[in-house]
Amino acid sequence: MNKKRQVELVVISDVHLGTFGCQSKELFSYLDSIQPKKLILNGDIIDIWQFRKSYFPKSHLKVLQKIVSMSTEGTEIIYLTGNHDEFLRKFSDVKIGNLTLVDKIVLNLDGKKAWVFHGDVFDVSIQNAKWLAKLGGWGYDFLILLNQFINFWLIKFKKEKYSLSKKIKNSVKKAVKYINDFETVVADLAIENGYKFVICGHIHHPQIKRIVNKNGTCLYLNSGDWIENLTALEYNDKRWSLVKFQELGLVTSEDSTEKPIPKDILTAITVLSNKK
């Protein structure tokens, strides 16, 4: 068994368990390779919006079980709710063992305040037109499926993989502007409130970026997602790093020594999805 990397703090977001695009096997391999003191799940971990009882494969359940296992082994787990798992906001401030459920949190990292939240509160489309946002989510899921089909044939012909959604996001001026506006608004508010770090998810755009305005400066961080980017934020020795799964040299495996998942987990998720 390989020795696990010791990490002070890890942040992941936008896993979207229960959707076709979720890269659960890669995420399991990443979580299985580390031993963090604190793990922050920064929203949209389970996609209750798009949950279907007919599609929740074993690899997705194994990610949930891995998180529970890490909690029982001493890792502090902080689950921050997002818009796709917003139903859990009814249970905010619940603490069970090493697992805490909250909407946002402020951490003290070596004397500096870090403001952590998912980020959907700054998304007008989510707040004012939820049905439209859900439609966009389903469209994104279809785009990922189409992309997987295209990449299957690209690999067959020994070509490099291609990301349709990244191409669209990078070529559409409105998408680029939205990302820049999101980062600026979040950072400005963080600076105004004296936070040195502001950590988000939501927009699926991994980033570590120093933002300066007339009132001061802060470090903006976004953990990306586990659909396309497969990224996480790690904090060690007073420094942040953006970790990319493809650069870690990890191998995904079907084999696991984990204990079986209780059958009632899937039932519980089904109940949540029906009450959204």
Give pLDDT tens digits along the chain (276 positions): 568 999 999 999 999 998 888 999 999 999 999 999 999 999 999 987 766 666 788 999 999 999 999 999 999 999 999 988 888 888 888 899 999 999 999 999 999 999 999 998 876 544 444 433 444 455 555 556 666 666 666 667 777 766 656 655 555 446 667 778 889 989 999 999 999 999 999 988 999 999 999 999 999 999 999 998 999 999 999 999 999 999 999 988 654 444 444 445 555 545 554 554
Q: Pairing between strand 99-102 and 76-80?
A: parallel
Segment (H or E) for 104: strand 104-109
Q: Can you tell me the distance from the alpha carbon of 147 to that of 134, in angstroms, rounded to the nearest whole number?
A: 20
Burial (Cβ within 10 Å: 0-12, 13-18, ≥19) of residue 96: exposed
CA dist list (Å): 109 to 104, 126, 240? 16, 31, 11
Q: In what order do the strands lie in the sheet with 34-42?
A: 94-96, 99-102, 76-80, 34-42, 5-12, 231-236, 239-244
- The CA distance from 266 to 223, in Å, is 27
Strands 112-117 and 197-200, bridge-based pairing: parallel
pTM of the model: 0.78
Give the residue from 149, 181, 178 showing the smallest Cα distance to 164.
Answer: 149
Structural domains in the chain, sorted by start: 5-274 (3.60.21.10)
Residue among 246, 209, 195, 248 at smallest CA distance from 7 = 248
